[in-house]
């Protein structure tokens, strides 16, 4: 039975046609009928369909007849965006082979190279595939040469397909069966299964997605999660085709799901090992490396009453997406909320939209920031996730920022503008590699804070959409950084504090102060809006007081009468300022936090 199983995933740069190719494979193998067919069939999140991108990896089992033998092909469709690299790494651990998909016009891109190396690290058999050969301006021969130069693949082994029209898909199915090895693992050995994903169903509890490494699991079996130590009975098991289809057993090499009526979300950990509760001799699998959260921000409910709803929604999301983490925090300005860690800015945007769409919660989000390290005068190293935690300047020995290695693939015509862009972001060039007749890969070390906000968009603009970016963490390096505080009427507003390079502090401080001045409503007294580094104020704007013309009724007479009335008004405003509070509306916060600055 095992000889007829093939486990593979599709890896590629964003928009190279992974989900469309998955659709054609489902159609060609007869897994779904023409009537059931729709575009991006495996992208079942509403956000995925709206944006046209894959966010979650999806598994599906297909049956394929060849020479009187029925093969079982288990496909895992993966995302292409750099922020969802963790989804890709989890999928690679469950496969023996990978289809490396490259666009016949765009050629090898930054994420193609990163994914190919990740597949080689997992010892997968790579089947190179050139997609979109039906395009008018397709250049498959040049792309095959590019793949050979950058990835070392044989140009004659490239399978040429059009995922849109279905051209060459049958040749690809043959290549999958011939080139990708069958899984190893003994169906009669003690049970050992890898949990590679999970989902929460309101009616069935936690649904665990597993790849059986060895042994067999049947309905009614008692299983144990090795890491958590909890024991459960298997109520239902089956495979995805692409909807859930139950069966009686799953054996070594197969990919499927287990339902054990698990109501507690904390019992299922992605990367855990499922073993038999009686025969526990199978060792736990190594699991996955912990994802590195790159970006942190605060999420607060705009209505304080929704705090518990937000916590429940975040718990449900964390089960489905282990690369996201959260912990409670409080803010003087925004009340109770959560500090959340994400893999990147797109990941943050997706989580926020999923919360709003799936749980109907209105959110306020603080300015995103990356993780820093601070060494104090006593030699202790602190990890800083939010600007409020940065110690006073006098107590800082060294301030370190995260540095990433950026691989940027650009057409030769745009090299100059991309180099200028990277130098403006304090980037240091590390390599310059020519990939083909008209394409170059530039490698830079750039501070993560400069990359994460808008470098991707700026590179797209500078290269008319042809440039692509991929980045990976290198480590922390010392830099001239500071905490920029925003003060309103002498009081620090914690939600608006940011960490930035000292050279940028003046510009950013002025911009935030100016924006706040236009957003804060006028009070009965003057309101000072200041930007400060430590005790040094670097920018100030003043919101003028509302004024009543107290001298309106004084017609003629001695000037001292007017002065007396004005003096009385001045003292009243001074007294009011001493005891009055400045109300900063939610709208003012949103305006500053959503501003490009």
Q: Rounded to a whole number, what is the largest CA-CA distance in the chain?
A: 114
DSSP 267-286: G--TT-EEEESS---SPPP-
Q: Report the Cα–Cα distance between both ends of the chain, in Å, rounded.
A: 59
Tell which phi-psi region holds residue 379, choosing left (phi > 0), alpha (psi between -120 and 50) or beta: left
Q: How far is CA 228 from the centre of its chain?
A: 26
Cα dihedral 439/441/446/449 (nearest 10):
60
Q: Extract the tokens encoding 519.
A: 């957003």
Q: How far is CA 6 from the centre of its chain?
A: 29
Q: Please, is 204 exposed, middle or buried when counting C-beta atoms within 10 Å of its C-beta (0-12, 13-18, 19+)? A: middle
Residue 133 assigned to a binding site:
yes
- Strand runs (DSSP E) across 312-449, as ranges? 325-331, 335-342, 363-365, 369-370, 372-376, 381-384, 396-411, 428-434, 439-447
Residue 115 assigned to a binding site:
no
Q: Extract the tokens encoding 528.
A: 């000072």
Per-residue 3-state assignment (H helix, E strand, C coil) for 415-482: HHHHHHHHHHCCCEEEEEEECCCCEEEEEEEEEHHHHHCCHHHHHHHHCCCCCEEEEEEEEEEECCEE
Residue 17 assigned to a binding site:
yes
CA–CA–CA angle 382, 385, 390 (5° rounding): 55
Per-residue 3-state assignment (H helix, E strand, C coil) for 183-214: CCCCCCCCCEEEEEEEEEECCCEEEEEEEEEE
CB neighbours of residue 506 within 10 Å: 14
Separation of alpha carbons 432 and 265, rounded Å: 48
Q: Please, is 570 exposed, middle or buried when counting C-beta atoms within 10 Å of its C-beta (0-12, 13-18, 19+)? A: exposed
Residue 385 assigned to a binding site:
no
Bond before 242 cis per omega within 30 degrees: yes
Q: How far is CA 124 from CA 117, 183, 288, 289, in A?
A: 10, 11, 16, 18
Q: What element of type H or E holds 26?
A: helix 18-28
Residue 16 assigned to a binding site:
yes
Separation of alpha carbons 143 and 161, rounded Å: 13
3-state secondary structure of 402: strand
Q: How far is CA 364 from the centre of its chain?
A: 19
Please say whether the beta carbons of 237 and 249 come within 8 A: yes
Rg of the chain over all Cα atoms, to the nearest angstrom: 29
Q: What are the φ/ψ torsions at residue 163 (nearest 5 degrees)?
A: -65, -25
Residue 446 assigned to a binding site:
no
Residue 251 assigned to a binding site:
no
Separation of alpha carbons 86 and 494, rounded Å: 32
Question: Please, which residues bridge with residue 69 across strands?
Answer: 66
- Binding-site annotation: residue ranges for GTP: 15-20, 131-134
- Binding-site annotation: residue ranges: 15-20, 131-134
């Amino acid at each position: 039975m095992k000889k007829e199983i093939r486990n593979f995933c599709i890896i590629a740069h964003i928009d190279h046609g992974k989900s469309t190719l998955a659709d054609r494979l489902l159609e060609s193998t007869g897994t779904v009928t023409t009537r059931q067919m729709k575009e991006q069939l495996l992208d079942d999140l509403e956000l995925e369909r709206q944006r046209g991108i894959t966010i979650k990896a999806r598994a599906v089992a297909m049956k394929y007849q060849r020479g009187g033998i029925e093969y079982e092909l288990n496909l895992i469709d993966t995302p292409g965006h750099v922020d969802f690299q963790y989804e890709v790494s989890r999928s690679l651990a469950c496969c023996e082979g990978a289809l490396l998909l490259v666009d016949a016009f765009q050629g090898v891109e930054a994420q193609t190279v990163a994914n190919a190396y990740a597949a080689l690290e997992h010892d997968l058999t790579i089947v190179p595939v050139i997609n979109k050969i039906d395009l008018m301006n397709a250049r498959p021969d040049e792309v095959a040469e590019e793949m050979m130069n950058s990835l070392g693949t044989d140009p004659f082994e490239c399978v040429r397909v059009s995922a849109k029209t279905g051209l060459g898909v049958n040749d690809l199915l043959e290549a999958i069966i011939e080139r990708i090895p069958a899984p190893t693992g003994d169906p009669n050995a003690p049970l050992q299964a890898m949990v590679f994903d999970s989902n929460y169903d309101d009616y069935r509890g936690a649904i665990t997605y597993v790849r059986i490494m060895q042994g067999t699991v049947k309905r009614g079996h008692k299983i144990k999660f090795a890491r958590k130590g909890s024991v459960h009975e298997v109520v239902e098991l089956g495979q995805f085709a692409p909807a859930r289809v139950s069966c009686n057993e799953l054996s070594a090499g197969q990919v499927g799901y287990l339902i054990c009526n698990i109501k507690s979300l904390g019992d299922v950990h992605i990367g855990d090992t499922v073993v038999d509760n009686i025969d526990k001799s199978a060792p736990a699998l190594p699991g996955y490396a912990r994802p590195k959260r790159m970006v942190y921000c605060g999420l607060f409910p705009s209505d304080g009453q929704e705090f518990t709803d937000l916590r429940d929604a975040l718990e449900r999301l964390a089960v489905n997406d282990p690369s996201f983490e959260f912990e409670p925090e409080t803010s003087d300005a925004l009340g109770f909320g959560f500090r959340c860690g994400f893999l990147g800015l797109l990941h943050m945007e997706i989580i926020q939209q999923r919360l709003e769409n799936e749980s109907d919660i209105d959110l306020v989000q603080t300015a995103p920031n990356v993780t820093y390290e601070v060494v104090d005068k006593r030699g202790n190293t602190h990890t800083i996730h939010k600007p409020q935690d940065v110690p006073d300047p006098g107590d800082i020995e060294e301030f370190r920022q995260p540095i990433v290695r950026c691989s940027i693939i650009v057409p030769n015509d745009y090299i100059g503008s991309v180099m200028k862009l990277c130098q403006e972001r304090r980037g240091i060039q590390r390599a310059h590699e020519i990939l083909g007749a008209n394409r170059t890969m530039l490698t830079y070390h750039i501070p993560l804070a400069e990359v994460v906000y808008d470098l991707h968009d700026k590179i797209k603009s500078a290269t008319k959409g042809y440039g692509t970016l991929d980045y990976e963490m290198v480590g922390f390096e010392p830099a001239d950084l500071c905490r920029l505080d925003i003060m309103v009427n002498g009081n620090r507003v914690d939600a608006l504090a940011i960490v930035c390079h000292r050279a940028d502090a003046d510009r950013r401080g002025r911009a935030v102060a100016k924006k706040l001045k236009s957003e804060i409503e006028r009070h009965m007294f003057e309101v000072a809006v200041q930007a400060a580094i430590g005790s040094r104020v670097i920018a100030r704007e003043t919101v003028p007081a509302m004024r009543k013309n107290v001298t309106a009724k004084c017609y003629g007479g001695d000037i001292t009468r007017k002065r007396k009335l004005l003096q009385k008004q001045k003292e009243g405003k001074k007294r009011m300022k001493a005891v009055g509070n400045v109300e900063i509306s939610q709208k003012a916060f949103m305006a500053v936090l959503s501003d490009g600055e």
